[in-house]
Amino acid sequence: MSGSGVENVPSARLRRDRPPHPSAPVTLQGPGLGSHVRVPLGETGFDVFPLFLGGGEFGWNVDARSSHDILDAYAELGGNALHTADSYAAGRSEFIIGEWMRTRRMRDDVVLSVRVGRHPDNPGLDSVNLVRAVEGSLQRLGTDRIDVLSLDA
């Protein structure tokens, strides 16, 4: 015990670092639990997991490594729908998601939704800034396509 009156107590390990409890269910083998749960995304022709994972905190309050862990867990559970924006952490969110898609080779398995219009370099939706915003997002994401584009007015 130090002079501050606070005991040095070791922090609890993360749940994923603990051995499973004896009564825990057997780990599933094969596709994720939600991989068969898909709903149509309007008239886009895409079938998506009913819960999009938003990347608003990636690169802002969540570092790249933790963001990749979150994305891995989401995909492992069957998720396939990601949302990000050019304004999230000034584009760092897009970079983190793009890096994850590249390293996991997940681009063809993911429906990617991107919102543009508020990045500090290309604010607004006039024709010049719109084209620049989309090209900037494609570059940060490291991909050749955006599946669903939203405009942030």
Residue recorded with tokens 């719109």: 130
- The C-alpha angle 96, 98, 104, rounded to 5 degrees, equals 100
Is 74 annotated as catalytic? no
Q: Give the CA dihedral 15, 20, 23, 25, nearest 10 degrees.
A: 90
Q: Of 49, 58, 74, 88, which residue is the catalytic one?
A: 88
Euclidean distance between CA atoms 135 and 139, whole angstroms? 6
CA pseudo-torsion sign 81, 85, 91, 93:
negative
Q: Tell me whether residue 133 is exposed, middle or buried, using C-beta atoms within 10 angstroms of its C-beta: 0 to 12, 13 to 18, 19 or more.
A: buried
Longest CA pairwise span in the chain (Å)? 65
Task: Tell me the catalytic residues.
Answer: 88
